[in-house]
Structure 1
Amino acid sequence: MNSKLPGNKTTCTNNATQFHLSNPPYESYFYSDCHSSSHVIITSPLSTSNLSIIGPRLLVAWPAGNSGVVSFFSPENGENGTLSIRLANSSATGNALEPLYFQGPPGSRNPQVGISGAISFNSSAVLTLPILGSIRTIRDFTEGPSIIYPDLQDAISFSETGDGGATLNRTWLDNTTTTHLTFTPLNGSDSVIIRGEENTTILFGAGTYQFKASFNYSQLHQLSPENVLNNASAGLFKQNPEQTAALSFLSYTNKLLAGTWRFLTYFGRDSMISLLLLQPILSEGEGGAIEAVIGVVLERINSTDGTACHEEVIGDYTTFLNLQKNITSSAPQCDYKMVDTDYFLPIVMKNYLVDTETGRNRSKEFLNTTATFLANNAGMKYAALAKRTAEKIMKTSTPFTLEGGQIKENLVHLKEGEVVGEWRDSTYGLGGGRIPYDVNTALVPAALRSIASLSRAGLFPDHPEWSETADEFAKIWEDRTLDFFRVRIPQSTAVSLIDSYMNESSFPGPSNTEQITSDIIFHGLALDGDDNQPVVRVMNTDDCFRHFLLNTTNQTQLSEFLSQTTDNILHPFPLGLSSSVGLFVANPAYGGDPIYAKNFTRGDYHGTVIWSWQLSMMAAGLAHQLGRCDSSDVPDFCADETLYRKILSAYNHLWNLIDENRLQLSNEVWSWTYDDGFQVEPLGAFTPTESNVQQLWSLTFLAVHKENFPRLKAEKSNKLLIEKDYQL
């Protein structure tokens, strides 16, 4: 049936999409139709919740403008933990949410759109703090030291309505857009009361109240579930209805969004990693999801130096930041502080424009597109912007390739004054390191290989030499970077380090040190870490980048690298990375300094926690390497029966963990508690930094599946090797 829109006679010809995801204490409700998309989150503390972090809250997030509203509630009686809230389904439709659409008076630039629902309180409650406008403003409050911007808060007006309700309005700093939030009593509930010295709080009685949240910002054009997937993947609609609906919620004709509610806008790294893993199922061609991802990155390149944009700043927040510089403008801005985003661009371009028939046929027209998003790029073609990034990569990678140039100083460093620069972009995510492992050992050579391929396809006509030199550069980066990050812990030392970590971290589980039968080997997160550590000695899952992106040919190095990766996957934490709730993205047990146990915990964004997309890329990476055993150029590890069996065992073990945690896989990140074993716990139970309930790169299991590899490859591989020797 068509979705009817209160407020006028306009209807959508296509069915609305709505679904509910439960992840207590968070309940998420999604609604999308032809006019707008909304994500509503009800937070109601559990009896086990940390009440200093989690409190009753209604949050509405909108993809358009990265916008939203939030209302924080507290019990009127002041007893923290006694107030519970929930959404009540409509008695008329049975739905939790209904759309709002008002065309507005003649001359209105945009209609007023949004969402309506019914919120129930188990006892009288006070709306203590509303924030209206930008998701970034809400993030600054929830994740930082409760930052409130008076210029924004003081602009919220409270007024009573004639039906016992109250409305909150705020006009954005652009003096055009307005956000509304209204509460109206239902089913005989008490009228709301506006109170406070400056009328800045609202009192509710126990009962049910309709809320309406709306705004009049320009909307995005969403890709329907049918349009975001290619024809061959249409069966996923029925097989995975919630995940495909979530993918659609984050997908629009001009960009894919990173996640909701916290990252409901463009993030370059996130969208390109997602594309790398999701490409087999995404729609191709003009107006499709793949070109939306590549195009949005090209649009936002810094045309001066070729740097790719990490995060865009749009909507009310960009006006706010401009005003801090005494600039009156709502023009979008870009964050260019990351060092990894550049390298993903040539990889995704090559995978589509060179490796697919549609991409090859579309390459000329697509690269001839004129950029429009940033004023500084106005009039530039996508081809010119792509070339700027490729030129930057070639220039910055050259010093390491020169004779005698394989020194630490010529590796890729974080930018001066920044503590973040790649996906582990929290304050302590790299342990203070300045030279990240993933960027140098995987992303740089993968980007160089892709530049060579793009050049051979004629897509960089001004640089035909790249077809050879980029491959030559890549070989040096592939073979000569791993050793900088290699950590080898002697067996006896490893036992002592884990024992120390157990005391420093108070980890209640077993140490598993009896399983240490040889030296521990891994590659550290970064170089030049905190407390003058030459290598940040934190075991991690970033091996997945190299396994997934590269076909290295240094056979001894490849075999050793696969061996240490699989050991760390198979070994239980804190010996390795494995737990029943997934692979930890960091294991600080071998750090040798209490600072590691302190900064890499189950409450840290990049600590001893589990990220869905890292499970996905590790699974895809091991599958990629195992798949090389059926290629025309079989690696040596395929003929090593013991090593091959171990890799296959780690691959199967990883998939067992993935299957056991299916309920979490769409989440951005999750944590754990330990009581005679690991149990899943939301990250938000330990820190104000919540996990997004839907994250773009956490939907990649729609495309990444377990593959069946034979138990033995040795016979075939040995035969091939014998034939080669015989021919020689």
Structure 2
Amino acid sequence: MKLAVWFPIRWNKPRAPRLRGGTLAGRGAWLVFLLVLGVGVAAAGEHQEPVLAFPERGLDSPEIYRDYTTRFFRDAHRNTVQIYIRQNDGRVVHLWANGANQSLGFSVRDASGHPVRLNWASSGAEIGQEERMLTLTYRLSAEQTPPFTFGHFLLGSMRFERDFQYQQGHRKPFSRAAFIPPEFPALIENISRLPEPIRRKHLNALNAPSVDALKARLLPQIKVLGPQLVRVGQTSLDGKNHLVLQLTALSTGAQFEPGEGTVTLNAPAGQPVQFQIQIASDGPSLTPLSARDIFNDAFFTFYRQIEKKAGLPGGEALRLYFRRLQRQVKGMELLSSQEKLMAGLPNFATYFGRDMMMSALMMEPILRPEMLEHVVGSVLRKLRQDGQVSHEEGLGGQAIRENAAVYNRLVEQYVTQFADRPGPEADSLLQQAWHVVTHLQATTENYWMVDDDFQLPVVAAHYLGRPDIPAQRKRRFLQQAAGPNRPGSRLVHLLKNLNYVAQVTRPYVDDPVPTHLVSFRRLPDGRWHSGSWRDSGAGYGGGRFAMDVNAIWVPRALEAMQSIFRALEQIGYPREALVEALSALPGHQILQRYLENESALQQAIDRWQKALEHFVVSLPAKEVRAHVAQKLAWLPETERAYWRSLLEQSRAADQPLEFLAVSLDERGRPIPIANTDLVTWLLLENVPEQILSGRLSAQRIVRWLALFERPYPVGLLIDGVGPVVSNDAYASQEIWEAFRKDVYHSPRTIWGREVNLLFLGLAKNIEAMQQVEEEKAKQQLAPVLETFRRVLEKNLRAVEASGLKHNELWSYRVTGNGVEPARYTTTSDVQLWNLTNLAVQYVLSRLKLENDHP
């Protein structure tokens, strides 16, 4: 991802407003916009208590949430709005999770430049609407007394706020240059280089009368409207959308004074201050879904049972359990709309293909059939022409940033190569640039990820294979257009994806050597892009071929292809008709062969099911001890002493270890990072069927699961915390260093996604083994069933004890007193992957465990 930089542009004072051609224009255009709103914009609206708030008494540890608090609301159109306060940084951020993924943020410092601690001063918020603007109003109080200064105003895309904090910009002095995506001033510079008639045309497309007027949109404009009233306004670079942040001092004698990109609040000595915040946006709205739209009847039966039990005398533990369940249901509502399931709040309030599809698979036991249609339909709507799945969309300001980069390349090529040579090539570049500048907010798509291309067939096969969905409904769904400006039906787009899968997996079918596996893309610097869910720089240890992609998703995608063909026949699509539909797709011959010859597809499936053998790492006890000893010697003294003591007590390093490496290097050799990715295989696989058919050894799956119950740093499990997402003890020191710098997918983190996949995969297969009736089969499965139960209960206890199981990810600290769970600083408060815990609770309620759950 390309990040914004610190751009050395000074703050500008606003000029007088201008209105041209009925549109807002000019450097002071935002003032016209504010004057249209008028002072009355702050009038009271409908009062609303928070939908959710963190931390919540009885559910969340105050220590873990120290210096952080957040609330969630619904605006007048029922878009999700999140407000969070980082008290140790004095930063307040408002996420507007609408169709533009907007945010409004600011920081508060005292006279010494230290953060001012802020607290809620109102129980809820007032929501309203003024013309096109949706508003939300609430109050804050400061623990310190004035004077203090408001600065680092950042209004735009939530992606900007995300980058700003990733770069630690929110902790830098207010005097530092403002945060501006570099593509924006570059676009303005490129417009100024165009010939005058073309420049005028492009400025008009951006609703700007001049280049100076466009420059004024680079920064939020700050206006002190009175002693106790400040408004900050931001117009989008294309002039189409507006954000407003209004500060009102509520204390007698308090007064704002303007500064350079800041405002300072003064008040009589020693007087505490409250102030009112109002935010306003004219961004596009989403269409929210309710719990009844999301969850099926079976889930609501379970939900009502818990609610009823929680109301009985002496049911305090159940009441807490139900409150958490209720909170998760509300969280799912906050993320869900007809357009998409957002990945997480606050940082990922938009479409992520992988997150939606994985969550649909994990939550399928509790979702209504319509939810699978929402997911599959959303993914197909964004499919690339060659069948690749979009990983992430860019909206609003982020779309402008990415489209501006395209515009800049086109204009730079025109100016440097063709400005003095008119002709077809110059005309073509200008025409392309014109199309971009007139659609600067057109949604952008990121197709760099690899795993999601193979997840789509699996989810589609689940949908088409459901017996509770009538054939007529499935046909109607497939016959509908994939989306606006997307020629072709959903069925045609699904075939495009299957065609892509068939093409990229064929080299390994023809010659099953490791270097013919599905590869990550190579970056310009020569490294391999981490193109699956461990998408940090260190996530796959620098590997080229990911285990989860090649050993799990590709074989399942080919199996799903087979299931889809059969399901399509059953609902009225004969193979001959599908072959005809394929004829328009480039390189369709492989998929056509699979359609016409099922044995050819089965051969491909069989070949790919053996791909996992390339990733197997088997270590005798002697090597386990040696590797772990080397890693411990590298750790700081406190950590080294603790882990050594633990190993002496547990003797965990005295047994051999077998696991699947996280990836292979470019020569096809395993990079021996132990990891949790087997949990995805557990969810998708019917383990008892594999064992009873002879395709899987019971001893092998028991060996693999040992990783999840042997204590870290030998295995993955940390008591009171949970299973770490990776263990690099068996890898090189270079990888240890990489994980120390980039901890996102390192042995320092526990991922809620992996925890819930583990619980769902184990529970599903435990349930399947419990249903086996034939005595000989039961005996064959007995050691596996015992292992699955033991691993499940150990990990349940550890995760429950952490107090952080509802988080996207969490971490831990090693102290002289042992290991303590810790909140990960940039975790999402409401995260789609973590809400799959609802499915975990539902599935666990059907199992008989030693530590029985409600």
1:425 equivalenced with 2:535 (yes/no): yes
Shift of 1:299: 0.3
Shift of 1:40: 0.6
1:212 equivalenced with 2:247 (yes/no): no
TM-score (norm 2): 0.73
3-state SS in 1 of match to 2:461: helix
1:134 equivalenced with 2:134 (yes/no): no
Match of 2:840 among 692, 704, 720: 704
Deviates more, 1:131-140 or 1:23-32: 23-32
Q: How does 1:306-317 map onto structure 2 within 5 Å?
A: 306-317=387-398
3-state SS in 2 of match to 1:277: helix
Shift of 1:7: 6.9
1:564 equivalenced with 2:564 (yes/no): no
What is the CA–CA distance in structure 1 between the aligned matches of 2:403 and 2:846, rounded to whole Å?
Answer: 54
1:117 equivalenced with 2:138 (yes/no): yes
Q: How does 1:35-184 map onto structure 2 within 5 Å?
A: 35=77, 36-45=79-88, 55-64=89-98, 65-78=100-113, 80=114, 83-89=116-122, 95-102=123-130, 104=131, 111-123=132-144, 124=146, 125-144=148-167, 146=169, 148-149=180-181, 151=184, 154-162=218-226, 164-184=228-248
CA gap 1:10/1:681 in 2 versus in 1, 3 angstroms: closer
Match of 2:69 among 16, 27, 38: 27
Q: How does 1:582-661 map onto structure 2 within 5 Å?
A: 582-591=722-731, 593-601=732-740, 604-608=743-747, 609-629=749-769, 630-631=771-772, 639=780, 641-661=782-802
**Structure 1 counterpart of 2:377, which letter?**
G
CA gap 1:470/1:143 in 2 versus in 1, 3 angstroms: farther
Shift of 1:204: 6.0
In structure 2, the partner of 1:299 is: 381
1:354 equivalenced with 2:465 (yes/no): yes
What is the CA–CA distance in structure 1 between the aligned matches of 2:394 and 2:729, rounded to whole Å?
Answer: 38
What is the CA–CA distance in structure 1 between the aligned matches of 2:289 and 2:496, rounded to whole Å?
Answer: 30
CA gap 1:637/1:573 in 2 versus in 1, 3 angstroms: farther
In structure 1, the partner of 2:498 is: 390
Partner deviation per Cα, 1:589-632 (whole Å, 9 max, x = no partner): 111x2223222349611112111111111111122333443358
**Structure 1 counterpart of 2:81, which letter?**
S
Q: How does 1:174-323 map onto structure 2 within 5 Å?
A: 174-188=238-252, 190-196=254-260, 199-203=261-265, 206-234=272-300, 236=303, 239=322, 240-285=325-370, 289-303=371-385, 305-323=386-404
CA gap 1:575/1:189 in 2 versus in 1, 3 angstroms: farther
Structure showing greater radius of gyration is 2
What is the CA–CA distance in structure 2 between the aligned matches of 1:74 and 1:564, rounded to whole Å?
Answer: 55
Partner deviation per Cα, 1:142-180 (whole Å, 9 max, x = no partner): 114746437487431110123612110010022110000
What is the CA–CA distance in structure 2 between the aligned matches of 1:683 and 1:177, rounded to whole Å?
Answer: 34
**Structure 2 counterpart of 1:664, which letter?**
L
CA gap 1:88/1:7 in 2 versus in 1, 3 angstroms: closer
Partner deviation per Cα, 1:378-408 (whole Å, 9 max, x = no partner): 2321111111001111222222223xx2211
Shift of 1:711: 9.2
Match of 1:400 among 501, 508, 514: 508
**Structure 2 counterpart of 1:595, which letter?**
E
In structure 2, runs of 5+ residues without a counterpart are 1-39, 56-64, 170-178, 186-216, 308-321, 408-435, 580-594
Contact 1:189 1:208 in 2 (8 A): no
> How many residues of Structure 1 are paired with residues of Structure 2 in the alignment?
662
1:364 equivalenced with 2:364 (yes/no): no
Shift of 1:468: 4.9
CA gap 1:707/1:471 in 2 versus in 1, 3 angstroms: farther
Deviates more, 1:432-441 or 1:445-454: 445-454
Q: How does 1:330-345 map onto structure 2 within 5 Å?
A: 330-345=441-456
Shift of 1:640: 5.2
In structure 2, the partner of 1:503 is: 633
**Structure 2 counterpart of 1:416, which letter?**
R
Deviates more, 1:430-439 or 1:636-645: 636-645
Contact 1:583 1:615 in 2 (8 A): yes
Contact 2:625 2:654 in 1 (8 A): no
3-state SS in 1 of match to 2:119: strand
Deviates more, 1:667-676 or 1:458-467: 458-467
What is the CA–CA distance in structure 2 between the aligned matches of 1:358 and 1:556, rounded to whole Å?
Answer: 31
What is the CA–CA distance in structure 2 between the aligned matches of 1:550 and 1:283, rounded to whole Å?
Answer: 22
3-state SS in 1 of match to 2:137: strand
% identical equivalent positions: 23
In structure 1, the partner of 2:827 is: 691
Partner deviation per Cα, 1:57-112 (whole Å, 9 max, x = no partner): 1001112111111112322223x46x3111212xxxxx33222321x2xxxxxx21
Shift of 1:495: 1.2
Contact 1:189 1:207 in 2 (8 A): no
Q: How does 1:443-454 map onto structure 2 within 5 Å?
A: 443-454=553-564
Partner deviation per Cα, 1:660-705 (whole Å, 9 max, x = no partner): 34x4222111111123232221221xxxxx1111110100111123
**Structure 2 counterpart of 1:39, which letter?**
Q
Deviates more, 1:555-564 or 1:406-415: 555-564
Deviates more, 1:354-363 or 1:167-176: 354-363
Contact 1:306 1:385 in 2 (8 A): yes
Contact 1:354 1:360 in 2 (8 A): no
**Structure 2 counterpart of 1:442, which letter?**
I
In structure 1, runs of 5+ residues without a counterpart are 46-54, 90-94, 105-110, 685-689, 713-728
Deviates more, 1:599-608 or 1:172-181: 599-608
Contact 1:602 1:671 in 2 (8 A): no
Contact 1:628 1:635 in 2 (8 A): no
Contact 1:602 1:672 in 2 (8 A): no
Shift of 1:255: 0.8
Partner deviation per Cα, 1:525-574 (whole Å, 9 max, x = no partner): 10007xx8932211110001111112363747442442133211111110
**Structure 2 counterpart of 1:611, which letter?**
W
Partner deviation per Cα, 1:626-649 (whole Å, 9 max, x = no partner): 344335899979615444422321
CA gap 1:588/1:704 in 2 versus in 1, 3 angstroms: same
CA gap 1:449/1:707 in 2 versus in 1, 3 angstroms: farther
What is the CA–CA distance in structure 1 between the aligned matches of 2:369 and 2:848, rounded to whole Å?
Answer: 33
What is the CA–CA distance in structure 2 between the aligned matches of 1:474 and 1:697, rounded to whole Å?
Answer: 29
**Structure 1 counterpart of 2:480, which letter?**
T
3-state SS in 2 of match to 1:358: coil
CA gap 1:253/1:385 in 2 versus in 1, 3 angstroms: same
In structure 2, the partner of 1:717 is: none
What is the CA–CA distance in structure 2 between the aligned matches of 1:113 and 1:427, rounded to whole Å?
Answer: 39
CA gap 1:137/1:99 in 2 versus in 1, 3 angstroms: same
Q: Which protein is richer in helix relative to its size?
A: 2
What is the CA–CA distance in structure 2 between the aligned matches of 1:26 and 1:291, rounded to whole Å?
Answer: 37
In structure 1, the partner of 2:173 is: none
3-state SS in 1 of match to 2:643: coil
In structure 1, the partner of 2:656 is: 519
What is the CA–CA distance in structure 2 between the aligned matches of 1:691 and 1:432, rounded to whole Å?
Answer: 24
Contact 2:218 2:237 in 1 (8 A): no
TM-score (norm 1): 0.85
Shift of 1:519: 1.4
